[in-house]
Every structure is written in structure tokens, then in C-alpha cells.
């Protein structure tokens, strides 16, 4: 038991003598410089993206779609039973 106590005591003394800088983790790398702020006016926020240059302004569309054409009734596949 004496050799184990001697080894533990030697390790304890070595830890106490070792400088604190050797026991700490390295410092993190420096932070990158901040990006310059881009100032946007309120008009630019609500305007939306510009139209592509090769396409003219779209024509206005009617709010209600035209009615669909009626298709002719198809006779049933099997004869009716009952009524």
C-alpha cells in the first residue's frame, strides 16, 4: 500500500507545481470583423422584386373565370335495376 501512496503523492505534488497555463485549454480563435449594415428604406421592403427585363408587364386578368362548357351525358355502363 505504501508504493501506491507514494505514487499518488508524487502525482499530487506534480499537479500542484505545474503552472496553471499548462492545464487550461487554448484560447479560441479571434472573432471575424462584423459585416457592414445594409440600410433598406421602407419603400424597398414592400415593393417586391422587379420584373425580368425581357418580359413586358402582364395584362390584367378578370377576377371571375369564365364558365366551363358542359359535357354531354354518357350513358351508364350497366343497365339500371329497379327504378
Q: DSSP assignment of 13-69, as one string?
A: HHHHHS-GGGTSPPPPPPPPPPPPPPP--HHHHHH-PPPPTTSPPPPP--SSPPPPP
Q: What is the pTM of this model?
A: 0.24
Q: What is the pLDDT of residues 48-65, one digit of tens each?
A: 777 777 766 677 777 777
pLDDT class for 1, splitting at 50, 70, 90? low
Amino acid at each position: 500500500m505504501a508504493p501506491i501512496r507514494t505514487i499518488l503523492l508524487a502525482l499530487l505534488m506534480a499537479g500542484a507545481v505545474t503552472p496553471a497555463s499548462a492545464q487550461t485549454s487554448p484560447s479560441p480563435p479571434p472573432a471575424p470583423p462584423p459585416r457592414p449594415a445594409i440600410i433598406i428604406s421602407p419603400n424597398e421592403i414592400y415593393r417586391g422584386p422587379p420584373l425580368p427585363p425581357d418580359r413586358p408587364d402582364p395584362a390584367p386578368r378578370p377576377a371571375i373565370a369564365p364558365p366551363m362548357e358542359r359535357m354531354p351525358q354518357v350513358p351508364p355502363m350497366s343497365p339500371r335495376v329497379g327504378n
